[in-house]
Each structure stands twice: as structure tokens, then as C-alpha cells.
A and B are shown apart, each in its own frame.
Chain A
Amino acid sequence: MEGISLEHFLIVSLLVFALGLYTVLTRKNAIGILMGIELILNAANINYIAFARYGGASIDGQVFAVFVIMLAAAEAAIGLAIVLGIYQNFDSIDVEATDSLRY
């Protein structure tokens, strides 16, 4: 692990976050958006763990990362359930199609 510093982790994390954000903003597919959110969450996880590893003695970062993973699992479950509901109502999982509450 010599030669790999905190900055490398942050760069990777930044890239993952940027990819996730890009996915979320550009995808029309609801499942694709959910995937993008996963990327964003995991970018955050990388940050937590990197800061915890390089920052100090406490393991707060790791603990938070575990929570986030758990939360991501729950979020995926609920998100997929919503997507399923959307599909049943609109015969599509295109988020542009779900515009019934538009003005």
C-alpha cells in the first residue's frame, strides 16, 4: 500500500461519483437511474473508508460505510418495487413517461 495515498482514493471516488451523477442525469431508464445512485453511494463509501484509513484512529468511517451499504440495499429494494409499480401502471419504465402529475 506504499505509494498509494489518500489523493488516489479521492480521485477514484470523484470519478465514480461523476460517472454516477452523469448516469442519473442522462438516463431515461428508471433502473439506470437507480444504478447511478448506487455509484454515487459507493463513491461516498470510498471517501468514508479512505478518510477513516488515513485520517485517524477511529473507525467511524467504516461504520458509516456499513450503514450506507445497508441503506443502499434497502433503497434498491424500495426503488425496484417503485419501478415495478411504474411498469404496471405505464407499461414502461421510462421516467419521461411518468408525467401524470405534470402541470
Chain B
Amino acid sequence: MEITTVSYLRWIPLLPLLGAAVNGLGGSVIQRRFGKSAISAIAVTPVVLAFVLSCCAFLQLKGLEPEHRFLLDDVWRWIDIGTLKADVAFWVDPLSCVMILVITGIGGLIHIYSTGYMHEDEAYWRFFAYLNLFTFAMLTLVLGDSLLLMFVGWEGVGLCSFALIGFWWTEQINTTAGNKAFIVNRIGDFGFILGIFLIFWSLDAAGHGSVVFRDIQHHAVSLEGRTIWGLPVVVLATLFFFVGATGKSAQIPLYVWLPDAMQGPTPVSALIHAATMVTAGVYMIARLNFLFAMAPETLAVVAGIGAATAFFAATIGLVQNDIKRVLAYSTVSQLGYMFVAMGVGAYAAGVFHLVTHAFFKACLFLGSGSVIHGMSGEQDMRKMGGLKDKMPTTFWTFLVATLALTGTPLTSGFFSKDEILWKAFSSPHGNATLWIIGVCGAGMTACYMFRQVFMTFFGETRADHHVAHHIHESPRSMTMPLVILAIGSILVGYLGVPEFLGGGNRFEAWLEPVFASGHEMAAHASHDAGLEWTLMLISVVVAATGFLIAYVLYYRHAASPDAIADVAGGVPYRLLYNKYYVDEIYWAVVVRGTLLVSAICSWFDGAIVDGIVNGVAKLTVALSWLDGLFDNRVIDGLVNLIANRTYDLGSRMRRVQTGSINAYLYVIVGTVTIVLLARLF
């Protein structure tokens, strides 16, 4: 592997950071002095420039031999302690190149969209400062050439996510949602950092201590057979990494924060909670694919968790009424598919789905934002309906993205999801169960997405008169990104048309140098085109069934949804509507448990620890009292005794000083006489 050194990569993350610094530090002044258009110019320009630079990087990579596609920009030595060496260095290989194109491309569109969506907000500058800071952190995460730099970005996106979910901080519910996202993410981050420690420590023990990805990959072989507490190090470390991924990418059991994250402004939901940040976990596993390939046990866990998440999130999505919550559960579900792909070693398919999903889910979120914008802030789909004619651009783009998400043939979602399902079935790590769960999830996806489309855009409007009067199509700055994303939702799929459909899968070929290990697995997979056709048809039929259910229930009203909801006493409906009571269970077990442990610790601290401390203090006071007694009585007594005796003596001696000069003279004369007489005799 040859490394091409370049010096422009640093500007890809640094330009958004610059924008964030200018808007974050001087934004309020700029907004007052030069207006909101100055703020948006400062915020959008760096992201667009970063996109241009990303395109340059892509073109340069494309000009290199596939196995030498590696650009490095080493900025400075960051940490140099013993064997731990880390640089602030940015690298681009085919995988991170895909990611930065998505982040800066879709991120740029969402920035433009936000200029329209957030236009009425007073804290316009703050929003864009956060958005740029997020872009910086996400690009650092992706471009960092070591686990440590990746972790910096990892934490940075979490922080920005927290700040943006609670952007409208005057509402308690928003700040609570922000806190929840941050705290749940911390649990995952803890796993991630343990994984970093374990990898570095194990490699160090083998004499190759490093946190740089290419070194880890080079020396990964030395981890083979190494164990800790009887467990293979690789399995343990990859499990830790996966815990980190479940937090950031909203997988069971840490997905609970993502639906609540919808409290943030809608462009944030689109950028952070659909297109980019939540895919960080997928990216991380894809980046460390060489480690995961060495740990088949972890891969099984990843695939299992992914499939379970894909299925359960889809079931919850079926009954939600908030337009953004449906999309949130859909995101959780689609991320589950990506993890299934990771788990069966189909890394390229997972990353492909990541890219297509970024397009159509961003489009859906921005579309829902446009709807909310037009509905004067209403998010409940039960109060919508009939928006088709009033918001045509939003409707058509939303419909296209929905078709893509539900895997309608010839859209991008069809190619990417079908690729995952096929790999889940045919890969050596895959099995029929994963495929069946995935297909069921796809059916439900079609159902809840078309339910959403029908409830929102078709039928009679159910909004109250005042709101209905105000419904209007969004400004061009909002519809333009929608159109671009909708077109992307269709076209991006053609980068990765599977081979059996005659596409040659250029996307997979592009990523091939990164996923050498996965490719070996794929080579073992059977290539039965007939079987592939059959499975594909089944999944299309299941999705069509989902569409039909939604059509019958929510368009034709052939059967009342309420009647369905009352099936079996309404228990299944309530279970789904309340999201399996997972939040309540977490509240009862985790939060209450933590509070209980805190109460016990508090009691222990107050009663025992303080008791010991206070006891020692009292003992010291008592001893000091005794010591004081000895000092006052014995030591001072001796000193005073000597002083008093001296004083007494002095009192007596001074009587000699009579003050009578004649008396002194008599004494003198007498004394002299005596001395003289003594001399004489």
C-alpha cells in the first residue's frame, strides 16, 4: 500500500470549524449588524468548499491504482508517550471518501435548507454555529487516521447532537431529550473507549502498540490467539466497539434516545439523526472490519442485534402518530439493516445502504420539516391530510423518498436493501432467519411509510380552520434541497446495481480494497442467480403487501384502524404505541436502580463514613483536651514555679535599695573599714 501525502485534507474538517468559530464567537454581533443572510453565508460556504475538496479527494483517489488509494495529511504529532503515538492526521481511502462526500454533500444541502427553515428563529447564528461544529466533528470522526482522533470526533458529534436536540431549550421536554441522548450515548462511548484501551494494550503486549488504523490492520494478526480472562481479546474488543456503535447508531438496547431526539429542529433530525451521526457506528465497524472478521462470535451478535432492532423498531413505527417519530423509528430500523449487513460480513452492502439511506431519509425528514413548516408547527399526523395539492413539491419528493425507503424496484433503496437481504441469506455468516426477519421488517416499512403518506397528504384535511388557512408551500431554499435529494434517492442506487441484474456493482468494487476480509467471505457465498431472483421477488411482494394494508386501512378506509387497534383487547396496540414500555422499564430498572444505589451510597456516606470521620475527630478533641490539661498544669506549672521563686527572691533582695543615700554611704564606709581592718590583721 503506497501512501500519497497531500496537504489539503486538513481543510475539509477545518473549514466548518472556522465557520463554527466565527458564528459561535461573533454570531450575535454579525446577526445584529449584517443580518441573517451574513450568518448563513458564513455557515454554508465552508461546507460547500469542504464538499468541493472532498470531490477533489475523490478524483485524486480515482486516479490511483485501486490498491494504492490512500491519501494522508499528517498535520502534527499529537500524543507521544512511550509507545503511544498519535498524530492529528487526516486520511482518505475509498470508505472515508464515500463518507465525506455524503457528509459534506447532504450536509451542505441541509445547511441550505436550514437557511429557510430556521429563518424566523432569533438564535439563527447559534443554530448554524452548532451545525458547522457538528460537521467538523463528523468529518474528524471519519477522516481521523487513528482510533483516538476518531474518538474525538465521536465525542464531538455527541456533544453537538446534545446541543441541537435541546436547541429550543426553553421547553423542558427538549432539554430532557438532549440530556437523555447525551447520557445514553455516554454508555456507548464508555464501551468504545474500553475497546480502544484493550486494542492498544493487547497490541502493545505483542510489541506493536498503536492506535493508528493502518498499523492495527497491519499487526492485527498478532492478536490471534491472545486471550484475557479466558476470552479472546479480539472478540472482547470488538464487542466493546459494538457497544459504542449501539449507542451512537441507536441499536437495541441503547436506541431509546433517538426517537426523543426528534425534539430538535427538523434539519437537525435530518442531518444528525438520519443521514450522518447515527451512521457513525456503522462506519466504525466497517472501518474496523479486519478486526470484526477475526471475531465471528461478535459478528453473530451484531447481525442478531441488527435484525432484532430492524424488526422491533418497525413494529413500533406502525402505530406512531407524530410525523417525525415514525421517521425516527424507521431510522432505527434501517440502521438495524446496516448492522445486519455488517454482521454477515457484507460491509460494502451496509455502507451502500448507509449512503442511499442518507439520501432518502434526509429527504423524508426535510419533507416532514416542510410539512411542519407549512402546518404552523403541527406534528401530529392525525391533524394533517390533504396536503397533496397545497404542497406539491413536498408531496412528490416525499413520495419518491418513500418509494426508495420501502424498496420499490428501480429506486436506490431497492438495490441497497435487496443487497443486504441477499447477503443475509447467502453469506457464510448469514442464515434464513435473518432474511425472514429482514423481509418482515421490509413489509412493515412499506406499511408504516405509506400509512404516513396517506395520513399526511391524502384525504380531507383534519387541521383546524386557522391552521388550514395558512398551509403553504415552503420557500425555494427548502424545496430545492428536497428536489436534489429526491433525485439522488433514485439515482444513487445505480452506483451499486447488483451483478445479477447486470449492474456490475461499481460501488462494491470501489470499496473492495478496504474490505479485503469481507470480500473473501463474499467469494465463498453462493452465486445462484435464480435463487437471488426468487428472494428478491418475495421481498417485493411482502413490501407490496405492506403497501396494500396501508392503502386499505388509511386510504380506502375499508376497515377502521381503530377496529384493528382493538384486536385482542387492544393489548398489542397499546404495547406498540407505548414502544413496548422500554422507556418505562429503563426508568424503573436503570434510573430508579441508580437512584436506589445512590441512596444507599448516600446513607453509607452519611452514617458510616461520616461517623468514622466524626469519631476520629471527637477522639482527637478528647486527646487534645488531655494534652492541654498536662500542658497547663505540669509544663506551665514548672515554668511558673521557677518564675515565682525568682520573683520572691527579687522581692526580698530589693529591700536593700532603701533610697537613703546616707544609709548607702554608711554601708560603703563600713565595708571599706572592714576591708582595711582585714588587710591590717
Contact = CB atoms under 8 A, between A and B. Distances in A.
A99 B659 contact: yes
Contacts of B662: 25-28, 95-96
Contacts of B669: 21, 25
B647 to A, nearest CB: 13
Chief secondary structure at chain A's binding surface: loop
A24 B657 contact: no
26 contacts: A21-B669, A24-B665, A25-B666, A25-B669, A26-B662, A27-B662, A28-B662, A33-B661, A95-B660, A95-B661, A95-B662, A96-B660, A96-B661, A96-B662, A98-B659, A98-B661, A99-B658, A99-B659, A100-B659, A101-B657, A101-B659, A102-B658, A103-B654, A103-B655, A103-B657, A103-B659
A102 B666 contact: no
Interface string B283-301: 0000000000000000000
B666 A99 contact: no
**B interface: dominant SS:** helix
A96 B666 CA distance: 14
B665 A102 contact: no
Given A26-B662, A103-B655, 17 more contacts: A21-B669, A24-B665, A25-B666, A27-B662, A95-B661, A96-B660, A96-B662, A99-B658, A99-B660, A100-B659, A102-B657, A102-B658, A102-B659, A103-B654, A103-B656, A103-B658, A103-B659
Contacts of B657: 101-103
Contacts of A25: 662, 665-666, 669
Interface in B621-669: 654-662, 665-666, 669
Interface string A86-99: 00000000011011
A1 B665 CA distance: 38
Interface string A1-39: 000000000000000000001001111100001000000
Contacts of A99: 658-660
Contacts of A27: 662
Residue of A21, A24, A28 with highest tally of chain B CB at under 10 A: A24
Closest 8 A/B residue pairs (Cβ) = A99-B659, A102-B659, A103-B654, A95-B661, A103-B657, A25-B665, A103-B655, A102-B657
Contacts of A28: 662
Contacts of A95: 660-662
Interface residues of B, number: 12
Interface in A60-103: 95-96, 98-103
Q: A interface, how many residues as a size bin?
A: 10 to 19
B43 to A, nearest CB: 96
Chain A CB within 10 Å, residue with most, of B661, B666, B669: B661
A27 B665 CA distance: 11
A82 to B, nearest CB: 12
A96 B659 CA distance: 7
A86 to B, nearest CB: 11
A54 B164 CA distance: 130
Contacts of A26: 662
A28 B660 CA distance: 10
A59 B665 CA distance: 33
Q: B656, B658, B662, B669 — which one has the most chain A CB atoms within 10 A of its CB?
A: B662
A96 to B, nearest CB: 6
Contacts of B665: 24-25
Nearest to A33: B661
A75 to B, nearest CB: 16
Interface string A42-58: 00000000000000000
Contacts of B660: 95-96, 99
From B658, B659, B669, name the one whose CB has the most chain A CB atoms within 10 angstroms: B659
B84 to A, nearest CB: 85
A97 B655 CA distance: 17
Nearest to B654: A103
A24 B659 CA distance: 16
A64 B219 CA distance: 117
Contacts of A100: 659
A100 B657 CA distance: 11
Contacts of B661: 33, 95-96, 98
A102 B657 CA distance: 5
Contacts of B666: 25
A99 B658 CA distance: 8
A16 to B, nearest CB: 16
Contacts of A96: 660-662
A45 to B, nearest CB: 19
- Which of A25, A26, A28, A33 has most B Cβ within 10 Å? A25
A92 to B, nearest CB: 13
